[in-house]
Homo-oligomer: A and B are copies of this chain.
């Protein structure tokens, strides 16, 4: 298997690092995976691999069979993804924004070109959730999916419950590197909406038009709201929720006051959790680090591994 990796940010760099460092120890799983070329706008993280700042060199390289897209967004990433699939290369992506907006087109391009499109890292960072739904829980008729899908928001809410104001908690999250300089996508619930939309597509086969998703973020929550919830034994969590009533799929994102006896109540800080309610398995919950370079990199690597296996 010959890889081209596009995007050498925290996740990309860790994918390369782990694939390189674990090659011998994990020879059975990743031994024959070869990184042929890496691409970024700057060359700082190329770790000695053949580097280019022009992604077309990866797309046009006939030796490369699988492209790992880790630049994010829906600009160049959209072009790269389409070109990858159209040149009959497999695509591994962590890009939830891209899949929530252009998933229909990309999944059908993958099918048309008989190549694989894997995206474990797009939801839940290092938590295995895409493949367990696709490969283990698929036989269920799902009733409901709920998830704490954005570590930034969950961290801010945890800090607010500890007494910080919203703006202080956001500042703290930015200082610790949990929130970006422009936190809009996180705090307004857009990132959560991308992720719950991808999970709903997996569970019910329908990719909702993004404009049909009702989205409320955490930026309207006050310390007072949090205090009132707390005094009632409740805790606000920004939940992505998808429900299927047997006929129609509805998706919404909103801060929800969760009861103490629910497991989601105890999911704090930057942690994420996804809860699936299936007719056969009942409630299943997956919990772990929803972000972070190393954790997310393992998800990307599991996708590469599955494609290498032919899955």
Contacts and interface: CB of A to CB of B under 8 A. Distances in A.
Contact of A280 (B18, B131, B136, B263): B18
Contact of A29 (B22, B139, B263): B139
Contacts of A289: 281-284
A18 B128 CA distance: 25
Contact of A139 (B22, B280, B282): B22
A164 B18 CA distance: 50
B135 A131 contact: yes
Contacts of A265: 266
A175 to B, nearest CB: 21
A77 B139 CA distance: 27
Interface in A261-311: 261, 263, 265-267, 278-289, 292, 294-295, 297-299, 301-302, 305-306, 309-311
A127 interface: yes
A282 B132 contact: no
A136 to B, nearest CB: 4
B298 A136 contact: yes
Given A126-B282, A280-B126, A136 B302 contact: yes
Nearest to A289: B282
Contacts of A261: 266
Q: How large is the interface on A (under 10, 10 to 19, 20 to 34, 35 or more residues)?
A: 35 or more
A138 interface: yes
A296 to B, nearest CB: 9
A295 B281 contact: yes
Given A131-B136, A135-B302, A136-B299, A287 B288 contact: no
Given A131-B131, A266-B266, A282-B288, A139 B301 contact: yes
Interface string A101-122: 0000000000000000000100
Contacts of A22: 139
A140 interface: yes
A170 interface: no
A184 B178 CA distance: 48
Contacts of A283: 287-289
B282 A285 contact: no
8 contacts: A29-B138, A126-B280, A126-B284, A128-B128, A137-B298, A263-B263, A263-B267, A286-B286
Given A126-B282, A261-B266, 12 more contacts: A26-B138, A29-B138, A29-B139, A131-B136, A278-B298, A280-B295, A280-B297, A283-B287, A283-B289, A284-B289, A286-B287, A287-B287
